[in-house]
Amino acid sequence: MKSRGRPKVDTQPVMVRMPTALIEALDEARRAEEDLPSRPELIRRIVEEWAAGRRGQ
Mean pLDDT value across the chain: 89
Domain of 51?
20-55
Confidence of residue 2 (pLDDT cuts 50, 70, 90): low
User: Considering the domain boundaries, does residue 3 fall inside one?
Assistant: no
User: Considering the domain boundaries, does residue 50 fall inside one?
Assistant: yes
Consecutive H or E run containing 46? helix 39-55
User: Considering the domain boundaries, does residue 41 fall inside one?
Assistant: yes
Q: How far is CA 32 from the centre of its chain?
A: 14
Encode pLDDT of 23-49 as tens digits: 999 999 999 999 999 999 999 999 999
User: Considering the domain boundaries, does residue 12 fall inside one?
Assistant: no
User: Considering the domain boundaries, does residue 9 fall inside one?
Assistant: no
User: Considering the domain boundaries, does residue 45 fall inside one?
Assistant: yes
User: Considering the domain boundaries, does residue 4 fall inside one?
Assistant: no
Count the domains in the chain: 1
